[in-house]
A and B are shown apart, each in its own frame.
Chain A
Protein backbone atom coordinates (compact mmCIF):
# COMPACT_ATOMS: atom_id res chain seq x y z
CA UNK A 1 0.00 0.00 0.00
CA UNK A 2 1.37 3.38 -0.98
CA UNK A 3 -0.06 6.81 -1.59
CA UNK A 4 0.77 9.21 -4.40
CA UNK A 5 0.15 12.83 -3.51
CA UNK A 6 -0.29 15.34 -6.30
CA UNK A 7 1.65 18.41 -5.24
CA UNK A 8 0.24 21.86 -5.71
CA UNK A 9 2.87 24.40 -6.61
CA UNK A 10 3.64 27.36 -8.85
CA UNK A 11 6.82 25.73 -10.22
CA UNK A 12 9.04 27.64 -7.81
CA UNK A 13 7.41 26.94 -4.46
CA UNK A 14 5.32 24.18 -2.99
CA UNK A 15 1.92 25.42 -1.85
CA UNK A 16 1.06 24.86 1.79
CA UNK A 17 -2.20 23.17 0.77
CA UNK A 18 -0.16 20.07 -0.19
CA UNK A 19 0.84 19.56 3.45
CA UNK A 20 -2.74 18.76 4.49
CA UNK A 21 -2.97 15.87 2.05
CA UNK A 22 0.28 14.49 3.49
CA UNK A 23 -1.33 14.30 6.93
CA UNK A 24 -4.37 12.49 5.52
CA UNK A 25 -2.05 10.06 3.72
CA UNK A 26 -0.22 9.38 6.99
CA UNK A 27 -3.54 8.38 8.51
CA UNK A 28 -4.10 5.93 5.66
CA UNK A 29 -0.68 4.38 6.27
CA UNK A 30 1.98 3.09 3.90
CA UNK A 31 4.63 4.96 1.93
CA UNK A 32 3.95 8.46 0.72
CA UNK A 33 5.33 9.64 -2.60
CA UNK A 34 4.72 13.08 -4.05
CA UNK A 35 4.32 13.88 -7.74
CA UNK A 36 5.45 17.32 -8.82
CA UNK A 37 4.36 17.98 -12.38
CA UNK A 38 5.35 21.31 -13.85
CA UNK A 39 7.84 23.17 -15.92
CA UNK A 40 11.11 24.27 -14.34
CA UNK A 41 9.73 22.93 -11.08
CA UNK A 42 12.89 21.58 -9.45
CA UNK A 43 12.69 24.13 -6.61
CA UNK A 44 9.14 22.99 -5.76
CA UNK A 45 10.29 19.37 -5.86
CA UNK A 46 13.18 20.11 -3.49
CA UNK A 47 10.71 21.68 -1.07
CA UNK A 48 8.46 18.62 -1.33
CA UNK A 49 11.44 16.40 -0.47
CA UNK A 50 11.81 18.21 2.86
CA UNK A 51 8.24 17.56 3.97
CA UNK A 52 8.16 15.23 6.96
CA UNK A 53 6.81 11.78 6.11
CA UNK A 54 7.49 11.82 2.38
CA UNK A 55 9.48 8.83 1.01
CA UNK A 56 10.04 9.86 -2.57
CA UNK A 57 9.40 12.82 -4.84
CA UNK A 58 8.73 12.20 -8.51
CA UNK A 59 9.38 15.17 -10.76
CA UNK A 60 7.85 15.42 -14.20
CA UNK A 61 9.44 18.53 -15.62
CA UNK A 62 8.01 19.33 -19.01
CA UNK A 63 6.59 22.38 -20.78
CA UNK A 64 3.29 20.47 -21.23
CA UNK A 65 2.69 20.69 -17.47
CA UNK A 66 3.60 24.36 -17.05
CA UNK A 67 0.06 25.58 -16.45
CA UNK A 68 -1.43 22.41 -14.99
CA UNK A 69 -3.76 21.90 -17.96
CA UNK A 70 -6.04 19.01 -17.03
CA UNK A 71 -5.77 17.26 -20.39
CA UNK A 72 -2.01 16.77 -19.92
CA UNK A 73 -1.62 16.43 -16.17
CA UNK A 74 -4.50 13.96 -15.71
CA UNK A 75 -2.86 11.59 -18.18
CA UNK A 76 0.37 11.72 -16.23
CA UNK A 77 -1.41 11.25 -12.89
CA UNK A 78 -3.32 8.24 -14.22
CA UNK A 79 -0.14 6.71 -15.60
CA UNK A 80 2.04 7.23 -12.53
CA UNK A 81 -0.84 6.64 -10.11
CA UNK A 82 -1.69 3.22 -11.56
CA UNK A 83 1.02 1.72 -9.35
CA UNK A 84 -0.44 3.09 -6.12
CA UNK A 85 -3.29 2.11 -3.81
CA UNK A 86 -4.20 5.74 -3.11
CA UNK A 87 -3.96 8.96 -5.08
CA UNK A 88 -4.58 12.06 -3.02
CA UNK A 89 -4.55 15.83 -3.20
CA UNK A 90 -5.97 18.64 -1.13
CA UNK A 91 -9.31 19.90 -2.51
CA UNK A 92 -8.20 23.05 -4.26
CA UNK A 93 -9.50 24.21 -7.66
CA UNK A 94 -6.40 22.65 -9.30
CA UNK A 95 -6.94 19.24 -7.74
CA UNK A 96 -10.68 19.34 -8.35
CA UNK A 97 -9.93 20.01 -11.99
CA UNK A 98 -7.40 17.24 -12.54
CA UNK A 99 -8.18 14.37 -10.18
CA UNK A 100 -11.64 13.32 -11.42
CA UNK A 101 -10.26 13.27 -14.95
CA UNK A 102 -7.43 11.00 -13.80
CA UNK A 103 -9.87 8.79 -11.87
CA UNK A 104 -12.03 8.27 -14.95
CA UNK A 105 -8.95 7.39 -17.01
CA UNK A 106 -8.22 4.73 -14.38
CA UNK A 107 -11.90 3.68 -14.43
CA UNK A 108 -12.30 4.29 -10.70
CA UNK A 109 -14.59 6.57 -8.72
CA UNK A 110 -13.41 9.51 -6.66
CA UNK A 111 -14.09 10.34 -3.05
CA UNK A 112 -14.30 14.11 -2.83
CA UNK A 113 -13.36 16.37 0.04
CA UNK A 114 -12.87 13.84 2.84
CA UNK A 115 -13.01 15.05 6.43
CA UNK A 116 -11.95 11.82 8.08
CA UNK A 117 -9.91 8.68 7.42
CA UNK A 118 -11.52 5.69 9.14
CA UNK A 119 -9.41 3.05 7.44
CA UNK A 120 -7.55 2.57 4.18
CA UNK A 121 -10.84 2.27 2.27
CA UNK A 122 -13.39 4.05 4.45
CA UNK A 123 -13.73 7.80 4.75
CA UNK A 124 -16.07 10.47 6.09
CA UNK A 125 -17.18 13.22 3.75
CA UNK A 126 -19.76 16.01 3.81
CA UNK A 127 -22.88 15.91 1.64
CA UNK A 128 -25.73 18.42 1.30
CA UNK A 129 -23.41 21.33 2.00
CA UNK A 130 -22.19 19.80 5.22
CA UNK A 131 -25.67 19.22 6.61
CA UNK A 132 -24.93 15.50 6.68
CA UNK A 133 -21.76 13.44 6.85
CA UNK A 134 -21.57 10.23 4.83
CA UNK A 135 -19.25 7.39 5.77
CA UNK A 136 -18.29 5.74 2.50
CA UNK A 137 -16.33 2.63 1.67
CA UNK A 138 -14.54 2.53 -1.64
CA UNK A 139 -14.86 -0.68 -3.65
CA UNK A 140 -12.23 0.41 -6.17
CA UNK A 141 -8.69 -0.96 -6.32
CA UNK A 142 -7.23 2.54 -6.49
CA UNK A 143 -8.73 5.13 -4.21
CA UNK A 144 -8.66 8.60 -5.72
CA UNK A 145 -9.30 11.10 -2.96
CA UNK A 146 -9.42 14.84 -2.44
CA UNK A 147 -8.86 16.03 1.11
CA UNK A 148 -10.53 18.99 2.81
CA UNK A 149 -7.55 21.00 3.96
CA UNK A 150 -9.14 22.41 7.08
CA UNK A 151 -10.01 18.92 8.36
CA UNK A 152 -6.37 17.80 8.53
CA UNK A 153 -3.47 19.62 10.18
CA UNK A 154 -0.60 20.54 7.90
CA UNK A 155 2.35 18.15 7.94
CA UNK A 156 5.69 19.67 8.94
CA UNK A 157 7.28 21.38 5.93
CA UNK A 158 10.78 20.58 7.21
CA UNK A 159 12.42 17.51 8.62
CA UNK A 160 12.10 15.05 5.74
CA UNK A 161 14.78 14.02 3.31
CA UNK A 162 13.05 12.20 0.48
CA UNK A 163 14.83 11.07 -2.65
CA UNK A 164 14.01 13.13 -5.74
CA UNK A 165 13.55 11.14 -8.90
CA UNK A 166 12.94 12.56 -12.35
CA UNK A 167 10.35 10.92 -14.59
CA UNK A 168 10.39 11.55 -18.27
CA UNK A 169 6.73 10.99 -19.20
CA UNK A 170 5.66 13.86 -21.41
CA UNK A 171 1.98 13.92 -22.21
CA UNK A 172 1.04 16.80 -24.41
CA UNK A 173 -2.43 16.24 -25.77
CA UNK A 174 -2.07 19.50 -27.69
CA UNK A 175 -5.78 20.25 -27.37
CA UNK A 176 -5.74 22.96 -24.74
CA UNK A 177 -3.62 26.00 -24.13
CA UNK A 178 -3.03 28.57 -21.47
CA UNK A 179 -4.06 32.06 -22.61
CA UNK A 180 -3.70 34.36 -19.64
CA UNK A 181 -3.88 34.76 -15.91
CA UNK A 182 -5.76 37.49 -14.21
CA UNK A 183 -4.47 37.38 -10.70
CA UNK A 184 -6.64 39.37 -8.34
CA UNK A 185 -5.13 42.83 -8.00
CA UNK A 186 -5.21 42.94 -4.25
CA UNK A 187 -3.07 40.80 -2.00
CA UNK A 188 -6.26 39.25 -0.78
CA UNK A 189 -6.48 35.48 -0.99
CA UNK A 190 -9.18 33.54 -2.80
CA UNK A 191 -12.26 32.86 -0.68
CA UNK A 192 -12.03 29.10 -0.76
CA UNK A 193 -8.43 28.97 0.42
CA UNK A 194 -8.30 32.00 2.72
CA UNK A 195 -7.34 31.46 6.34
CA UNK A 196 -9.47 34.40 7.41
CA UNK A 197 -12.70 35.60 5.82
CA UNK A 198 -14.63 38.76 6.59
CA UNK A 199 -18.17 38.55 5.23
CA UNK A 200 -20.95 41.08 4.94
CA UNK A 201 -24.69 40.60 4.73
CA UNK A 202 -27.79 42.65 4.13
CA UNK A 203 -26.94 44.67 7.21
CA UNK A 204 -24.13 46.35 5.28
CA UNK A 205 -26.81 48.51 3.67
CA UNK A 206 -25.12 49.03 0.32
CA UNK A 207 -22.11 48.06 -1.78
CA UNK A 208 -20.02 51.10 -0.85
CA UNK A 209 -20.06 50.08 2.80
CA UNK A 210 -18.17 46.91 1.89
CA UNK A 211 -15.09 49.17 1.74
CA UNK A 212 -15.12 48.99 5.55
CA UNK A 213 -14.73 45.23 5.33
CA UNK A 214 -12.04 45.54 2.64
CA UNK A 215 -9.97 47.64 4.97
CA UNK A 216 -10.26 45.13 7.83
CA UNK A 217 -9.56 42.27 5.41
CA UNK A 218 -6.41 43.94 4.07
CA UNK A 219 -5.02 44.26 7.58
CA UNK A 220 -5.75 40.60 8.33
CA UNK A 221 -4.70 39.20 4.97
CA UNK A 222 -8.28 37.99 4.69
CA UNK A 223 -10.71 37.40 1.85
CA UNK A 224 -14.04 39.23 1.69
CA UNK A 225 -17.24 37.26 1.32
CA UNK A 226 -20.94 37.97 1.34
CA UNK A 227 -24.24 36.35 2.10
CA UNK A 228 -26.77 35.64 -0.63
CA UNK A 229 -28.90 38.48 0.72
CA UNK A 230 -26.07 40.92 0.01
CA UNK A 231 -25.60 39.47 -3.48
CA UNK A 232 -29.32 39.49 -4.31
CA UNK A 233 -29.56 43.08 -3.10
CA UNK A 234 -26.87 43.93 -5.64
CA UNK A 235 -24.28 45.07 -3.06
CA UNK A 236 -21.56 42.76 -4.40
CA UNK A 237 -21.06 40.31 -7.29
CA UNK A 238 -22.18 36.71 -6.85
CA UNK A 239 -18.72 35.19 -6.88
CA UNK A 240 -18.35 36.58 -3.37
CA UNK A 241 -21.28 34.53 -2.14
CA UNK A 242 -20.64 32.15 0.71
CA UNK A 243 -23.30 29.53 1.28
CA UNK A 244 -24.87 26.39 -0.03
CA UNK A 245 -25.12 27.66 -3.59
CA UNK A 246 -22.04 29.82 -3.32
CA UNK A 247 -18.63 28.96 -2.05
CA UNK A 248 -18.22 26.52 0.79
CA UNK A 249 -15.47 27.74 3.04
CA UNK A 250 -13.82 26.58 6.23
CA UNK A 251 -11.21 29.16 7.24
CA UNK A 252 -9.55 29.44 10.63
CA UNK A 253 -11.54 32.58 11.31
CA UNK A 254 -14.85 33.69 9.79
CA UNK A 255 -16.14 37.12 10.71
CA UNK A 256 -19.84 37.53 9.85
CA UNK A 257 -20.87 41.18 9.77
CA UNK A 258 -24.53 42.07 9.45
CA UNK A 259 -25.41 38.49 8.54
CA UNK A 260 -28.43 36.97 10.27
CA UNK A 261 -27.29 33.40 9.76
CA UNK A 262 -29.89 31.72 7.52
CA UNK A 263 -29.35 27.97 7.06
CA UNK A 264 -28.15 28.35 3.49
CA UNK A 265 -25.43 30.70 4.65
CA UNK A 266 -24.44 28.56 7.62
CA UNK A 267 -24.11 25.60 5.26
CA UNK A 268 -21.27 27.42 3.55
CA UNK A 269 -19.22 28.42 6.59
CA UNK A 270 -20.10 26.45 9.68
CA UNK A 271 -16.99 24.29 9.48
CA UNK A 272 -14.84 27.35 10.11
CA UNK A 273 -12.59 26.91 13.11
CA UNK A 274 -13.67 30.13 14.79
CA UNK A 275 -16.74 32.17 13.94
CA UNK A 276 -17.23 35.77 15.01
CA UNK A 277 -20.59 37.48 14.61
CA UNK A 278 -21.13 41.21 14.67
CA UNK A 279 -24.83 41.98 14.59
CA UNK A 280 -27.11 44.43 16.31
CA UNK A 281 -29.91 41.87 16.69
CA UNK A 282 -28.98 39.76 19.68
CA UNK A 283 -31.48 37.11 18.59
CA UNK A 284 -29.97 36.58 15.14
CA UNK A 285 -29.40 32.84 14.51
CA UNK A 286 -25.75 33.54 13.69
CA UNK A 287 -25.07 33.88 17.43
CA UNK A 288 -26.01 30.21 17.90
CA UNK A 289 -22.93 29.15 15.95
CA UNK A 290 -20.57 32.00 16.77
CA UNK A 291 -17.68 31.39 19.12
CA UNK A 292 -17.50 35.10 19.80
CA UNK A 293 -20.51 37.30 19.35
CA UNK A 294 -20.60 41.06 19.55
CA UNK A 295 -24.01 42.68 19.75
CA UNK A 296 -23.32 46.07 18.26
CA UNK A 297 -24.03 48.37 15.34
CA UNK A 298 -21.62 47.28 12.64
CA UNK A 299 -21.13 50.87 11.48
CA UNK A 300 -19.49 51.59 14.83
CA UNK A 301 -17.93 48.20 15.56
CA UNK A 302 -16.22 47.62 12.22
CA UNK A 303 -14.31 50.95 12.07
CA UNK A 304 -13.30 50.41 15.69
CA UNK A 305 -12.10 46.90 14.90
CA UNK A 306 -10.21 48.31 11.93
CA UNK A 307 -8.42 50.84 14.10
CA UNK A 308 -7.48 48.24 16.71
CA UNK A 309 -5.80 45.85 14.28
Chain B
Protein backbone atom coordinates (compact mmCIF):
# COMPACT_ATOMS: atom_id res chain seq x y z
CA UNK B 1 0.00 0.00 0.00
CA UNK B 2 1.02 3.54 -0.63
CA UNK B 3 1.36 6.05 2.21
CA UNK B 4 0.92 9.74 1.63
CA UNK B 5 2.58 11.91 4.27
CA UNK B 6 1.48 15.53 4.48
CA UNK B 7 4.12 17.79 5.98
CA UNK B 8 4.42 21.49 6.71
CA UNK B 9 7.24 24.01 6.72
CA UNK B 10 6.99 25.98 9.95
CA UNK B 11 9.15 28.21 12.07
CA UNK B 12 11.67 26.17 14.05
CA UNK B 13 10.33 25.21 17.47
CA UNK B 14 13.31 26.81 19.20
CA UNK B 15 12.68 30.26 17.76
CA UNK B 16 10.87 32.81 19.87
CA UNK B 17 8.59 34.50 17.39
CA UNK B 18 7.87 38.22 17.38
CA UNK B 19 4.81 40.04 16.24
CA UNK B 20 5.30 42.64 13.48
CA UNK B 21 5.11 46.24 14.74
CA UNK B 22 1.98 46.87 12.64
CA UNK B 23 0.24 43.89 14.33
CA UNK B 24 -0.57 42.31 10.97
CA UNK B 25 1.18 38.99 11.54
CA UNK B 26 4.11 37.22 13.13
CA UNK B 27 7.44 38.34 11.68
CA UNK B 28 8.94 35.40 9.78
CA UNK B 29 11.64 37.21 7.84
CA UNK B 30 15.08 35.70 8.45
CA UNK B 31 13.71 33.14 10.87
CA UNK B 32 14.91 29.55 10.85
CA UNK B 33 12.32 27.20 9.35
CA UNK B 34 11.98 23.46 9.75
CA UNK B 35 9.66 20.49 9.30
CA UNK B 36 6.82 20.73 11.81
CA UNK B 37 7.82 18.38 14.67
CA UNK B 38 4.59 16.35 14.51
CA UNK B 39 5.13 15.89 10.75
CA UNK B 40 8.59 14.44 11.45
CA UNK B 41 6.85 11.80 13.55
CA UNK B 42 4.47 11.11 10.64
CA UNK B 43 7.35 10.67 8.19
CA UNK B 44 9.12 8.35 10.63
CA UNK B 45 6.04 6.18 11.06
CA UNK B 46 5.49 5.90 7.32
CA UNK B 47 9.13 4.95 6.77
CA UNK B 48 8.92 2.33 9.53
CA UNK B 49 5.84 0.83 7.87
CA UNK B 50 7.83 0.63 4.67
CA UNK B 51 10.74 -1.01 6.46
CA UNK B 52 8.30 -3.58 7.83
CA UNK B 53 7.18 -4.33 4.30
CA UNK B 54 3.67 -2.99 4.86
CA UNK B 55 4.03 0.15 2.78
CA UNK B 56 5.27 -0.12 -0.77
CA UNK B 57 5.81 3.57 -1.41
CA UNK B 58 6.01 6.68 0.77
CA UNK B 59 5.08 9.98 -0.86
CA UNK B 60 5.62 13.28 0.97
CA UNK B 61 3.51 16.26 0.07
CA UNK B 62 3.51 19.88 1.17
CA UNK B 63 1.57 22.97 0.15
CA UNK B 64 3.34 26.29 0.04
CA UNK B 65 5.91 28.40 -1.76
CA UNK B 66 9.00 26.98 -3.45
CA UNK B 67 10.72 27.17 -0.06
CA UNK B 68 8.81 24.15 1.20
CA UNK B 69 10.83 22.00 -1.22
CA UNK B 70 13.56 22.17 1.41
CA UNK B 71 11.29 20.35 3.88
CA UNK B 72 10.20 17.90 1.18
CA UNK B 73 13.89 17.11 0.56
CA UNK B 74 14.23 16.46 4.29
CA UNK B 75 11.33 14.01 4.00
CA UNK B 76 13.09 12.31 1.09
CA UNK B 77 16.33 12.13 3.07
CA UNK B 78 14.45 10.46 5.91
CA UNK B 79 13.25 7.70 3.59
CA UNK B 80 10.32 8.92 1.49
CA UNK B 81 10.42 7.79 -2.15
CA UNK B 82 9.11 10.86 -3.93
CA UNK B 83 7.72 14.29 -3.19
CA UNK B 84 4.88 16.50 -4.36
CA UNK B 85 4.79 20.24 -3.87
CA UNK B 86 1.49 22.05 -4.22
CA UNK B 87 2.77 25.45 -5.24
CA UNK B 88 0.89 28.37 -3.74
CA UNK B 89 1.81 31.78 -2.34
CA UNK B 90 -1.46 32.12 -0.50
CA UNK B 91 -1.72 31.32 3.15
CA UNK B 92 -3.85 28.21 2.97
CA UNK B 93 -6.17 27.38 5.84
CA UNK B 94 -6.76 23.83 7.09
CA UNK B 95 -9.99 23.39 5.10
CA UNK B 96 -8.23 24.44 1.88
CA UNK B 97 -5.27 22.16 2.58
CA UNK B 98 -7.68 19.33 3.30
CA UNK B 99 -9.35 19.95 -0.07
CA UNK B 100 -5.99 19.99 -1.87
CA UNK B 101 -5.00 16.77 -0.16
CA UNK B 102 -8.40 15.24 -0.92
CA UNK B 103 -7.80 15.89 -4.62
CA UNK B 104 -4.38 14.24 -4.31
CA UNK B 105 -5.87 11.27 -2.49
CA UNK B 106 -8.23 10.84 -5.42
CA UNK B 107 -5.22 10.79 -7.75
CA UNK B 108 -2.75 8.78 -5.70
CA UNK B 109 -5.13 6.38 -3.92
CA UNK B 110 -3.02 5.90 -0.77
CA UNK B 111 -3.97 3.29 1.83
CA UNK B 112 -2.98 5.61 4.67
CA UNK B 113 -2.52 9.36 4.86
CA UNK B 114 -0.15 10.16 7.73
CA UNK B 115 0.13 13.63 9.17
CA UNK B 116 0.95 15.50 12.36
CA UNK B 117 -1.85 16.17 14.81
CA UNK B 118 -1.18 19.89 14.53
CA UNK B 119 1.31 22.42 13.24
CA UNK B 120 3.13 24.51 15.79
CA UNK B 121 2.39 27.76 13.96
CA UNK B 122 -1.38 27.76 13.36
CA UNK B 123 -2.11 25.35 16.23
CA UNK B 124 -5.35 24.36 14.53
CA UNK B 125 -5.44 20.57 14.83
CA UNK B 126 -7.98 20.31 12.00
CA UNK B 127 -6.47 19.26 8.68
CA UNK B 128 -6.38 15.49 9.20
CA UNK B 129 -9.95 15.32 10.45
CA UNK B 130 -11.16 17.56 7.60
CA UNK B 131 -9.34 15.47 5.01
CA UNK B 132 -10.94 12.33 6.42
CA UNK B 133 -14.37 13.96 6.18
CA UNK B 134 -13.88 15.11 2.59
CA UNK B 135 -12.55 11.77 1.36
CA UNK B 136 -14.92 9.71 3.48
CA UNK B 137 -11.89 7.99 4.98
CA UNK B 138 -11.76 6.79 8.57
CA UNK B 139 -9.65 8.74 11.04
CA UNK B 140 -7.23 7.81 13.79
CA UNK B 141 -6.26 11.05 15.48
CA UNK B 142 -3.57 11.57 18.15
CA UNK B 143 -2.08 8.17 17.39
CA UNK B 144 0.44 6.66 19.78
CA UNK B 145 0.51 3.26 18.09
CA UNK B 146 -0.40 2.08 14.61
CA UNK B 147 -0.76 -1.51 13.53
CA UNK B 148 -1.98 -2.90 10.23
CA UNK B 149 -4.07 -6.03 10.72
CA UNK B 150 -5.25 -7.25 7.34
CA UNK B 151 -7.87 -4.91 5.98
CA UNK B 152 -8.04 -3.07 9.25
CA UNK B 153 -5.86 -0.46 10.87
CA UNK B 154 -5.61 -0.63 14.64
CA UNK B 155 -4.84 2.77 16.08
CA UNK B 156 -4.13 3.49 19.72
CA UNK B 157 -5.10 7.06 20.47
CA UNK B 158 -4.14 9.41 23.26
CA UNK B 159 -7.36 10.53 24.86
CA UNK B 160 -8.28 12.12 28.15
CA UNK B 161 -7.39 9.80 30.98
CA UNK B 162 -5.47 7.22 29.01
CA UNK B 163 -5.43 5.42 25.70
CA UNK B 164 -8.16 4.22 23.39
CA UNK B 165 -7.75 1.58 20.72
CA UNK B 166 -9.96 1.70 17.65
CA UNK B 167 -10.24 -0.35 14.51
CA UNK B 168 -10.45 1.50 11.21
CA UNK B 169 -11.36 0.29 7.78
CA UNK B 170 -8.70 1.29 5.26
CA UNK B 171 -8.07 3.75 3.70
CA UNK B 172 -7.55 5.88 6.80
CA UNK B 173 -6.11 9.20 7.87
CA UNK B 174 -3.78 8.99 10.86
CA UNK B 175 -2.59 12.01 12.81
CA UNK B 176 0.45 11.56 15.00
CA UNK B 177 0.98 12.34 18.64
CA UNK B 178 4.28 12.63 20.48
CA UNK B 179 4.35 9.10 21.85
CA UNK B 180 4.16 7.41 18.43
CA UNK B 181 7.90 7.28 17.79
CA UNK B 182 11.27 9.03 18.01
CA UNK B 183 12.07 10.44 14.57
CA UNK B 184 15.47 9.58 13.15
CA UNK B 185 18.00 12.07 11.84
CA UNK B 186 18.86 12.30 8.16
CA UNK B 187 22.38 11.03 7.44
CA UNK B 188 24.63 12.93 5.07
CA UNK B 189 24.64 10.21 2.36
CA UNK B 190 20.84 10.11 2.53
CA UNK B 191 20.65 13.90 2.22
CA UNK B 192 22.81 13.61 -0.92
CA UNK B 193 20.67 10.79 -2.30
CA UNK B 194 17.49 12.76 -1.59
CA UNK B 195 18.60 15.38 -4.10
CA UNK B 196 18.11 12.89 -6.90
CA UNK B 197 14.72 11.63 -5.83
CA UNK B 198 11.72 12.88 -7.85
CA UNK B 199 9.96 16.06 -6.74
CA UNK B 200 6.93 17.11 -8.73
CA UNK B 201 5.23 20.49 -8.55
CA UNK B 202 1.50 20.97 -9.04
CA UNK B 203 -0.82 23.93 -8.51
CA UNK B 204 -4.17 24.25 -6.72
CA UNK B 205 -5.65 24.98 -10.17
CA UNK B 206 -4.37 21.62 -11.45
CA UNK B 207 -6.28 20.04 -8.61
CA UNK B 208 -9.35 22.20 -9.18
CA UNK B 209 -9.45 23.47 -5.61
CA UNK B 210 -10.59 26.88 -4.42
CA UNK B 211 -8.33 27.98 -1.57
CA UNK B 212 -10.27 31.16 -0.67
CA UNK B 213 -9.90 31.91 3.05
CA UNK B 214 -12.79 31.40 5.48
CA UNK B 215 -11.17 33.47 8.16
CA UNK B 216 -9.85 36.98 8.14
CA UNK B 217 -7.06 37.82 10.56
CA UNK B 218 -7.80 41.29 11.86
CA UNK B 219 -4.87 41.62 14.19
CA UNK B 220 -2.01 39.70 15.75
CA UNK B 221 -0.82 40.87 19.14
CA UNK B 222 1.65 39.81 21.78
CA UNK B 223 0.06 37.98 24.68
CA UNK B 224 -0.09 39.77 27.98
CA UNK B 225 3.22 39.40 29.73
CA UNK B 226 2.98 37.61 33.02
CA UNK B 227 4.01 39.67 35.97
CA UNK B 228 6.68 38.11 38.12
CA UNK B 229 5.20 37.21 41.47
CA UNK B 230 6.80 36.93 44.83
CA UNK B 231 9.42 34.67 46.30
CA UNK B 232 8.45 32.78 49.36
CA UNK B 233 10.89 31.94 52.14
CA UNK B 234 9.99 28.32 52.74
CA UNK B 235 7.60 25.47 51.99
CA UNK B 236 5.19 26.40 54.78
CA UNK B 237 4.76 29.87 53.37
CA UNK B 238 4.25 28.42 49.90
CA UNK B 239 1.50 26.08 51.07
CA UNK B 240 -0.13 28.87 53.03
CA UNK B 241 -0.10 31.23 50.03
CA UNK B 242 -1.52 28.59 47.72
CA UNK B 243 -4.28 27.81 50.17
CA UNK B 244 -5.22 31.23 51.47
CA UNK B 245 -4.21 33.66 48.73
CA UNK B 246 -4.56 31.68 45.49
CA UNK B 247 -7.16 29.23 46.73
CA UNK B 248 -5.88 26.49 44.47
CA UNK B 249 -5.12 23.86 47.10
A residues in contact (CB < 8 Å) with B: 67, 69-71, 74, 92-94, 96-105, 107-113, 122, 125-140, 175-184, 189-190, 192-193, 196, 220, 237-239, 241, 244-248, 252-253, 263-264, 270, 273-276, 282, 287-296, 301, 304-305, 308-309
- Expressed in whole angstroms, the Cα–Cα distance for A135 and B228 within the complex equals 26
Contact A112–B124 (Cβ < 8 Å): yes
| B residues in contact (CB < 8 Å) with A | 11, 13-14, 16-17, 19, 26, 37-38, 93-95, 98, 120-134, 138-139, 141-142, 144, 154, 156-169, 177-179, 182, 213-223, 226, 228-232, 234-236, 238-239, 241-242, 246, 248-249
Query: CA–CA, A100 to B122, complex, Å?
Result: 14
Give the shortest distance, in Å, between A207 (CB) and chain B (any CB): 16
CA distance A270 to B144 in the complex (A): 26
Which residues in B have their C-beta under 8 angstroms from that of A305? 235, 238-239
Report whether B246 and A108 are in contact in the complex, using a CB–CB cutoff of 8 Å: no
Q: Which 3 A-B pairs have the closest CB atoms?
A: A109-B214, A291-B229, A104-B133
21 A-B contacts, Cβ less than 8 Å apart? Answer: A69-B166, A74-B129, A94-B159, A98-B129, A101-B130, A108-B214, A109-B94, A112-B123, A128-B123, A132-B19, A132-B222, A132-B223, A136-B217, A182-B165, A244-B13, A244-B120, A245-B120, A263-B16, A274-B248, A292-B231, A308-B235
> B198: shortest Cβ distance to chain A, in Å?
30
Number of A-B contacts (CB under 8 A): 258
Q: CB-nearest residue of chain A relative to B93?
A: A109
A111 touching B94, Cβ below 8 Å: no
Select one of A93, A101, A288 contacting B158, CB under 8 A: A93
Q: Which of B19, B160, B215 contacts A137 (CB 8 A)?
A: B215
| Contact yes or no, A175 B13, CB < 8 A | no
Contact in complex: B228, A288 (CB < 8 Å) = yes
A245, B17: Cβ atoms closer than 8 Å: no
Q: Note all chain B residues with C-beta closer than 8 A to A182.
A: 156, 162-165
**How long is the Cα–Cα vector from A138 to B16 in the complex, in angstroms?**
28
- CB pair B230–A292 under 8 Å, yes or no, is yes
Cα–Cα, bound, A128→B27 (Å):
11
Q: Do B166 and A179 have beta carbons less than 8 Å apart?
A: yes
Alpha-carbon gap, A140 to B121, bound state (A): 22
Question: Which residues of the partner chain B approach A220 to less than 8 Å between Cβ atoms?
Answer: 249
Minimal beta-carbon separation of A254 from chain B (angstroms): 10
CA distance A282 to B161 in the complex (A): 35
How far is B126's CA from A80's CA once the two chains are assembled, in angstroms?
20
In the bound complex, do residue A274 and residue B179 qualify as a contact, i.e. CB atoms below 8 Å apart? no
Taking A70-B141, A301-B235 as contacts, is the C-beta distance between A181 and B164 under 8 angstroms? yes
